[in-house]
Amino acid sequence: MLILAIESSCDETAAAVVEMEQGLRRIRSSVVASQVDVHALYGGVVPEIASRAHIEAISGVVSRALTEAEMTMEDIDAIGVTYAPGLIGSLLVGVSFAKGLAFAHGKPLVGVNHIKGHAAAAYLTDETLEAPFCALIVSGGHTSLYDVTCPTSFVEIGGTRDDAAGEAFDKVGRVMGLPYPGGAAMDRLATAGFANGRGEMFRFPSPAVHDESYDYSFSGLKTAVINQIHTIRQRLNLGDDGELPEDIREGIAASFTRAVVDGVTAKLRRAITEKKIRRLVLAGGVAANSHLRAAVESVAKEMGVTLTVPPLSLCGDNAAMIGAQAYFEVLAGNFADESLNAYASDEEAAFV
């Protein structure tokens, strides 16, 4: 089955063609047009600018995905599109475009949840992966552990009660003066920090909520790191946003990353034991973090869990992952029609 997929939930306009069959999962094309440069000027995504940029890009991005796959709309069996969660104006651009395309070409339309899409990147990584499995999705908007009972049914067993891990990475990066989004730059700084023995330079609170749940809370950690940065700037007379010394930058990045990784893996370990998890997927933009990948890999190895982590190109937002999930939605008969709407949150979209 050939699926044309469209993703526009945040600041990436993406389209892809994936070929999915029993025993065959192939990305025929995957085009991602990033708006990062535009939003970097403002230190974060500006929703109105994002919607306008999607409108400008979407037609060209979809055409390129078809051209690179050496296909026309005639070859496509179904159209998949992200409809939730995300920025409502951004989502609406993709949903409206997909509806128009489906109507004009008489193709079936499938609405895909973005988080389910992140997990579905794992199907494209490991052709043998089948549900049930557990999915740890760590992104700019989510930090959640799901029991994926079948490819279309996700039950959240733990999640963040406030900020997501990616938000914390970006906010700390911004206060340190790193370009938006700060995640990848923080990753590199932390690597230097660990190499120079600065992983314990600062002691920050754990994002693992101290109770029997599998929940996280990143806002306390984020605030503690930001307060630490302000205190150091005052002590060194650097002004409100003065450049921190390199050893301090490395120490903050490494100590913060250690708190994130230790907190995330602490809950994960307990979930693996208590929920008897045998197959695990780690996905989402923050799954690109080298330290988180390494830590989850070692937890999985130690606890005898089979782990799938998509390559970096399939961790950040892309449309191939949406196409992979769309395939399973088609198999389940979950088709949309011209009434398909976009929803900012999982709750509004009736996630499960």
Picked from Zn ion, ligand KG4, none, the partner binding residue 316 (CB below 5 to 8 A depending on kind) is ligand KG4
- CB closest to ligand KG4, residue no: 285
Between residue 301 and residue 320, which ones bind Zn ion under the rule CB under 5 A? 317
Picked from Zn ion, ligand KG4, none, the partner binding residue 310 (CB below 5 to 8 A depending on kind) is none
Smallest distance, Zn ion to C-beta of residue 260, A = 17
Report residue 59 as tokens. 């037609």
Burial of 80 (0-12, 13-18, 19+ CB in 10 A): buried
Q: Are 41 and 114 in contact (CB under 8 A)?
A: no
Asked if 139 interacts with Zn ion (CB under 5 A), we say yes
Report residue 177 as tokens. 């003066």
Picked from Zn ion, ligand KG4, none, the partner binding residue 184 (CB below 5 to 8 A depending on kind) is ligand KG4
Asked if 144 interacts with Zn ion (CB under 5 A), we say no
Closest to ligand KG4 by CB, 25 vs 118, is 118
Cα angle: 217, vertex 219, 220; to 5 degrees? 90
Q: Are 15 and 324 in contact (CB under 8 A)?
A: no
Q: Classify residue 197 by its DSSP letter.
A: T
Place of tokens 């002004």: 239
Closest to ligand KG4 by CB, 102 vs 321, is 321
* 55: nearest Cα among 104, 102, 78, 89: 89
Closest to ligand KG4 by CB, 25 vs 171, is 171
Smallest distance, ligand KG4 to C-beta of residue 188, A = 8
Picked from Zn ion, ligand KG4, none, the partner binding residue 7 (CB below 5 to 8 A depending on kind) is none
Residues forming the site for ligand KG4 (CB under 6 A):
10, 139-141, 166, 169-170, 181-184, 186-187, 284-286, 288-289, 316-317
Report residue 156 as tokens. 């959240």
Asked if 215 interacts with Zn ion (CB under 5 A), we say no
Give the Å distances, CA to CA, from 118 to 85, 220, 325.
12, 26, 9
Picked from ligand KG4, Zn ion, none, the partner binding residue 325 (CB below 5 to 8 A depending on kind) is none
Place of tokens 């993406």: 14
Closest to ligand KG4 by CB, 158 vs 182, is 182
Picked from Zn ion, ligand KG4, none, the partner binding residue 256 (CB below 5 to 8 A depending on kind) is none
CA 11 to chain centre: 12
Picked from Zn ion, ligand KG4, none, the partner binding residue 166 (CB below 5 to 8 A depending on kind) is ligand KG4
Smallest distance, ligand KG4 to C-beta of residue 9, A = 7
Smallest distance, Zn ion to C-beta of residue 188, A = 21
Please, which residues have CB within 8 angstroms of residue 144's CB and are 6 or more apart in sequence?
A: 115, 136, 137, 156, 158, 159, 160
Picked from Zn ion, ligand KG4, none, the partner binding residue 263 (CB below 5 to 8 A depending on kind) is none
Place of tokens 């994960």: 268
Closest to ligand KG4 by CB, 9 vs 228, is 9
Q: Are 319 and 7 in contact (CB under 8 A)?
A: yes
* 2: nearest Cα among 19, 16, 24: 19
Bridge partner residues of 146 (DSSP): 135, 156
Tell me which stretch binds Zn ion (CB under 5 A): 27-35, 138-146, 202-210, 215-223: 138-146
Q: What is the contact surface with Zn ion in residues (CB under 5 A)?
A: 139, 317
